[in-house]
Amino acid sequence: MKTQLMMGRRQFLFGATGMAVAVAGCTTTPRAAFVAVPRPALPDAALMYAAIADEQFPVPAARIDLIDPKYYRQVVKDPTGEKPGTIVVDTPRRFLYLVQEDGHAIRYGVGIGRDGFAWGGRARIQYKRKWPKWTPPSEMIDRQPELEKYRHGMSPGLDNPLGARALYIFEDGKDTLYRLHGNMDARSIGRAVSSGCVRLLFQDVIDLYERVPDGTSILVLQTDAGGQNA
């Protein structure tokens, strides 16, 4: 099976102009229709994780030599049984699945931060942001006084903890404080890490961002989904 796992934003917008995404505020958004992704050939990993020069902050190539290849973005048989268009985060196995229409899923490797183990269940992507600001919670600032300078927000950039993209998860219209977000540290993929929620490589979170609209259903599992290891 041939499935597109990487596309430039210009290619995506040309091939999927029907996926209009309205960025939501803090109110509940209606369910968005799943849009099938076009399916050219599977790209080489080096191409998938190459530098992206046309971003607001140019993204360097990912250090995929530091990652177990099973965590590279790839198409697998869907182990979740969820409806097409659903995101499933399998925290024990460090995988995120985007369910497709043909019994398969796009699988991304993730790193799970301390906050990533703090919530589980069904919810929705309330809204998404490109190059978001990051504001640490007051409790975090109390624990780490050096973060005081970011009390009113850290500007976007490569070093921002949310990275190139962030997807904000709400349950019954309320913020869960759970995020899917970018990450520059390739060594954290496939691991439990000290901070953050669900970390994806910049190239992967950009890819996921383009594939899912606001209102997308998400299921976060704190027990094994039975995903494939390879």
Q: Which of 26, 104, 152, 181 is catalytic?
A: 181
- 159: exposed, middle or buried (C-beta count within 10 Å: 0-12, 13-18, 19+)? exposed
Reported pTM:
0.78
- Neighbouring C-beta atoms of residue 60, cutoff 10 Å: 14
Task: Give me the catalytic one of 26, 104, 152, 197.
Answer: 197
- CA 36/CA 58 separation, integer angstroms: 28
Q: Is 104 a catalytic residue?
A: no
How many whole angstroms separate alpha carbon 174 and alpha carbon 159?
Answer: 28
In our burial notation (b when 16+ CB lie closer than 10 A, e otherwise), range 110-135 reads bbbbebbeebbeebbbbbbbebbebe
Residue 187: partners with Cβ closer than 8 Å, 6 or more residues away: 63, 66, 67
What is the CATH T-level fold of the domain 9-221, as seen in this structure? L,D-transpeptidase catalytic domain-like (2.40.440)
pLDDT, position 167: 98
pLDDT tens track for 172-192: 999 998 999 999 999 999 999
For residues 98-119, give the mean pLDDT.
Answer: 91
> How does residue 226 score in pLDDT terms, banded at 50, 70 and 90?
low
- Dump pLDDT digits (tens) for 2-48: 444 544 433 433 333 333 333 233 223 334 444 444 444 446 899 99
Q: Is position 197 annotated as part of the catalytic site?
A: yes
